[in-house]
């Protein structure tokens, strides 16, 4: 299996896993919104925001460290496995105590009603099971066996969707919903542990303090990237909860749900590339440059039509999935659509920087971006409510993306980004013209025709080269060389 086929196989596996996760999240969110209204959906969304702060605040960057280091030296798998799980259990315990104290002591001043507090406590326990399971999934990725991750995620999300549907449709009880999440969470953990121990490695039952310290020094900057990324993504919801009614939080998070649903799609491709980029950084910088350019090209081609389509059809998507009670969410979705595009462009840059051990510089930049996000939210939300929150997200996204591009250009290569953008912009303009003229057609027809028009015009504008077509052909045939 050559490099391209390996990346394709792993990307496909992650695509399926992520697809199940996104589908589960969307089904549960839509059911809550339609069965229980914008007020209940707002409270649930606020609890999710706090859960994400706990999830990523206590995870640090251990998962990325395991993927990067074990992919380079498979013999270290057992050592990382045992030591990282021990560190994560300690961090989770401390983090959960802090979360409970904040919610209990400051919840009223933060706009948290009793139900929302209850949701936070149990969603954090669910997140804890995911955190431990992620260490096993990091081992799967380091060995480039993403199909094991796909298996565990499918089982978890199918069970979560089933139990969630019963809790919402039959009992209409969100408390029962968040308690039920614990079952698929811990089942996922048990299956992941079994697969990892059987097929890859067993944890070394040791705590190597020197090793822990060395790993922590690498993990903290990576973890700060995630923490500040979550601040960028969810500080708006937390601040809206303090200033606005829960129904307003619900409107905004109906738009955010699209963003959260589409942004992770780029991670499936990026996560499949991280082990490869880590190896190329050591063995061949020329191959790393090619990998970077190809990844950027693909992400621009995929991300741009998403942004255009969501901008022009935001009102129809909101009404279709969430109903008239959420119709005011369309303007927030139009703004956040372009943040999705920025995330797609930033994905390859972020992974390349991680592979190049530039996480310390990244952490500083993302911290500055998070501070900017909070500051702009503080200024805009009191005057422009959830629209201001969406604008703040976009502003911080532009700032972080610009810095990432500067860092990769400085330490690897200056990519002619304008040349990569021109063909997708031509194709996107043609697609936008079609949507404008035919927006009253059936939504599925519009989507299908838009995709066809976009890629047809992309081909005409030479946005897809012969090398790209040859690369796609290699995915379908037996390997003839190890080259990318």
Condensed to tens digits (0 to 9), the pLDDT of residues 132-175 reads 888 888 888 888 787 888 889 899 999 999 999 999 999 889 89
Question: For the chain, what percent of residues have pLDDT higher than 90?
Answer: 27
d(CA 392, CA 339): 10
State the greatest distance between any 2 C-alpha atoms of the chain, in Å, as a whole number.
65
* Terminal C-alpha separation, the chain: 12
Per-residue model confidence (pLDDT) at position 413: 87
pLDDT at 179: 93
**Does residue 187 register a pLDDT over 70?**
yes
* Long-range pairs, 190-198, Cβ under 8 A, ≥24: 191/151, 191/152, 191/155, 192/133, 192/136, 192/137, 192/148, 192/152, 193/133, 193/136, 195/136, 195/140, 195/148, 195/151, 195/152, 196/81, 196/136, 196/139, 196/140, 196/148
Mean pLDDT of 67-88: 83
Please tell me what DSSP assigns to residue 328.
Answer: G
pLDDT on residue 204 = 66
Q: What is the pLDDT of residue 264?
A: 66
Q: What share of the chain is helix, strand, coil (3-state, %, to 5)?
A: 85, 0, 15
pLDDT tens figures, 385-436:
999 999 999 999 899 899 999 999 988 888 888 888 999 999 999 999 999 9
Tell me how far the alpha carbon of residue 80 is from its chain's centroid. 24
DSSP notation for 181-202:
THHHHHHHHHHHHHHHHHHT--
* Mean pLDDT for the stretch of residues 102-123: 88
Spatial separation of the C-alpha atoms in residues 87 and 69, rounded to whole Å = 17
Given a cut of 50, whether residue 483 has pLDDT beyond it is: no
**Mean pLDDT along residues 369-397:** 91
39: confidence class by pLDDT, cuts 50, 70, 90: confident
- Residue 20 sits at the vertex; the CA angle it makes with 128 and 456, to the nearest 5 degrees, is 135
Q: Is 231 exposed, middle or buried (0-12, 13-18, 19+ CB in 10 A)?
A: buried
pLDDT recorded at residue 335: 94
- Predicted TM-score of the model (pTM): 0.73
> Who has greater pLDDT, 214 or 265?
214
| Residue range 258-285: mean pLDDT, rounded | 73
CB 240 within 8 A of CB 381: yes
Among the ranges given (143-152, 161-170, 222-231, 462-471), the one the predictor scored with the smallest mean pLDDT: 462-471
- Sign of the dihedral defined by the CA atoms of residues 257, 259, 265, 267, in that order: negative
Higher pLDDT, 374 or 217: 374
What span, in angstroms and rounded, lies between the C-alpha atoms of 81 and 270? 23
What pLDDT score does 433 carry? 95
Residue 1: its H or E element: none
290, exposed or middle or buried, with CB in 10 Å at 0-12, 13-18, 19+? Answer: middle
Whether the CB-CB separation of 35 and 168 falls below 8 Å is answered with yes
Average pLDDT over residues 116-141: 88
- Average pLDDT estimate for 298-310: 92
Residue 205 pLDDT > 90: no
Neighbours of 269 (CB within 10 A): 22
**For residues 173-199, average pLDDT:** 90
User: Would you tell me how many other CB atoms lie within 10 Å of the CB of residue 396?
Assistant: 29
pLDDT at 223: 74
pLDDT class of 466 with cuts at 50, 70, 90:
low
476 or 155: whose pLDDT is higher?
155
pLDDT in tens, 314-346: 999 998 888 888 889 899 999 999 999 998 998
- Look at residue 347 and give its three-state secondary structure: helix
Tell me the backbone φ, ψ of residue 79, rounded to 5 degrees.
-65, -45
Mean pLDDT along residues 280-306: 87
- Residue 14 is predicted with a pLDDT of 65
Q: What is the mean pLDDT of residues 80-95?
A: 86
Q: Quick one: pLDDT at residue 293?
A: 87
pLDDT band at 308 (very low <50, low <70, confident <90, very high): very high
Q: Which segment of 121-135, 195-209, 340-354, 450-464 scores lowest on mean pLDDT?
A: 195-209
Averaged pLDDT of the chain? 84
**Pick from 171, 46, 185: which is nearest to 119 by CA?**
46
Q: What is the mean pLDDT of residues 219-248?
A: 80
Confidence of residue 5 (pLDDT cuts 50, 70, 90): low
Give the mean model confidence (pLDDT) for residues 41-45. 87
Could you tell me the pLDDT band of residue 479, with boundaries at 50, 70 and 90? very low
């Amino acid at each position: 299996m050559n490099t391209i086929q390996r990346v394709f196989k792993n990307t496909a596996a992650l695509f399926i896993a992520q697809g199940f996760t996104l589908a589960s999240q969307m089904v549960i969110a839509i059911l809550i919104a339609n069965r229980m209204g914008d007020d209940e959906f707002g409270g649930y969304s606020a609890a999710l925001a706090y859960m994400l702060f706990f999830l990523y605040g206590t995870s640090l960057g251990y998962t990325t460290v395991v993927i990067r280091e074990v992919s380079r030296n498979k013999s270290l798998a057992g050592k990382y496995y045992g030591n990282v799980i021990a560190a994560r259990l300690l961090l989770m315990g401390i983090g959960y105590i802090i979360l409970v104290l904040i919610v209990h002591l400051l919840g009223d001043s933060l706009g948290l009603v009793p139900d929302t507090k209850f949701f936070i406590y149990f969603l954090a326990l669910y997140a804890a099971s995911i955190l431990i399971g992620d260490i096993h999934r990091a081992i799967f990725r380091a060995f480039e066996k993403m199909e094991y991750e796909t298996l565990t995620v499918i089982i978890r999300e199918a069970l979560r969707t089933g139990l969630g549907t019963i809790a919402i449709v039959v009992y209409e009880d969100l408390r029962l919903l968040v308690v039920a999440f614990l079952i698929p969470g811990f089942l996922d953990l048990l299956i992941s542990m079994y697969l990892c121990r059987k097929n890859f490695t067993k944890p070394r039952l040791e705590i190597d303090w020197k090793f822990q310290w060395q790993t922590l020094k690498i993990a903290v900057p990576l973890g700060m990237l995630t923490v500040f990324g979550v601040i960028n993504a969810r500080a708006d919801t937390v601040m809206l909860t303090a200033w606005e009614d829960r129904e307003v939080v619900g409107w905004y998070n109906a738009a955010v749900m699209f963003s959260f649903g589409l942004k992770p799609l780029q991670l499936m491709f990026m996560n499949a590339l991280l082990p490869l980029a880590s190896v190329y950084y050591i063995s061949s910088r020329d191959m790393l440059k090619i990998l970077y350019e190809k990844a950027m090209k693909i992400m621009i081609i995929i991300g741009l039509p998403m942004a255009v389509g969501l901008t022009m059809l935001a009102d129809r998507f909101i009404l279709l999935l969430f109903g008239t009670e959420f119709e005011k969410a369309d303007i927030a979705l139009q703004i956040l659509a372009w943040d999705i595009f920025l995330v797609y462009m930033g994905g390859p840059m972020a992974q390349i920087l991680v592979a190049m051990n530039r996480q310390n510089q990244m952490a500083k930049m993302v911290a500055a971006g998070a501070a900017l996000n909070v500051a702009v939210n503080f200024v805009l939300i009191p005057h422009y409510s959830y629209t201001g929150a969406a604008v703040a997200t976009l502003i911080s996204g532009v700032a972080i993306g610009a810095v990432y591009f500067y860092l990769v250009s400085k330490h690897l290569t200056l990519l002619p980004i304008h040349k990569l953008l021109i063909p997708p912009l031509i194709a996107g303009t043609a697609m936008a013209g079609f949507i404008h003229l035919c927006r009253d057609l059936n939504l599925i027809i519009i989507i299908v025709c838009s995709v066809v028009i976009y890629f047809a015009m992309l081909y005409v504008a030479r946005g897809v080269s012969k090398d790209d077509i040859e690369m796609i052909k290699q995915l379908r045939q037996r390997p003839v060389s190890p080259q990318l």
